[in-house]
């Protein structure tokens, strides 16, 4: 049996959870959802305050060789929500289709406020390493809905990012 094909960091952006005011719930759900995927080894969840600590955690994930980093939290309209602002400067390019699909999935499940998420998706690149980055909402339900979108495409996205070809289609 071979080891995991992909290393994925789970990162929770929450000022209160980072300060110990309450336990991180969405990061635990994210870890569980990622661990269910074949070939995925999960790092974390790393719980950090929102804003610059999110950027530090993303850079850490890239530095330790993660193929992807999925964040939860800090994507809303609250004045302290700053995950997209911490993420965007690290991205070499964005993948808007993923972010749009995440918002659509929540809305389609009847969560009208899902369209208020400002989460991003894209590729960060440093020192010859590339890493997929996806921002999910901070609720457990938002993480589950988001993973419903991300799970079927995560491996393919990482393989593409590594320079892989599209799988051959039958027919």
What is the DSSP-derived secondary structure letter of residue 119?
-
**Which homologous superfamily does the CATH classification assign to the domain defined by 6-162?**
MoaB/Mog-like domain (3.40.980.10)
Contact status, residue 92 vs residue 123, Cβ threshold 8 Å: yes
Pick the closest to residue 15 from 86, 103, 68, 69 (CA basis).
Answer: 86
Domain boundaries, the chain: 6-162
23-80, pLDDT tens digit by residue?
999 999 999 999 999 999 999 999 999 999 999 999 999 999 999 999 999 999 999 9
Give the β-pairing of 121-126 and 91-94: antiparallel
pTM above 0.85, yes or no: yes
The secondary structure of residue 114, as a DSSP letter, is G
């Amino acid at each position: 049996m071979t080891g995991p094909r992909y290393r994925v960091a789970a990162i929770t952006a929450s000022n209160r959870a980072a300060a110990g005011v309450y336990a991180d719930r969405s990061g635990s759900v994210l870890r569980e959802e990622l661990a269910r995927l074949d070939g995925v080894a999960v790092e974390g969840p790393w719980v950090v305050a929102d804003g610059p600590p999110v950027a530090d955690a993303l850079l850490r994930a890239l530095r330790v060789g993660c193929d992807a980093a999925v964040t939860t939290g800090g994507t809303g309209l609250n004045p302290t929500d700053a995950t997209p602002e911490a993420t965007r400067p690290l991205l070499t390019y964005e993948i808007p289709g993923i972010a749009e699909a995440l918002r659509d999935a929540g809305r389609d499940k009847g969560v009208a406020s899902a369209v208020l998420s400002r989460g991003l998706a894209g590729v960060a690149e440093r020192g010859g390493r590339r890493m997929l980055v996806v921002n999910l909402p901070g609720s457990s339900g938002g993480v589950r809905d988001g993973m419903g979108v991300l799970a079927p495409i995560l491996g393919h996205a990482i393989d593409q990012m590594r320079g892989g070809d599209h799988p051959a289609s039958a027919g």
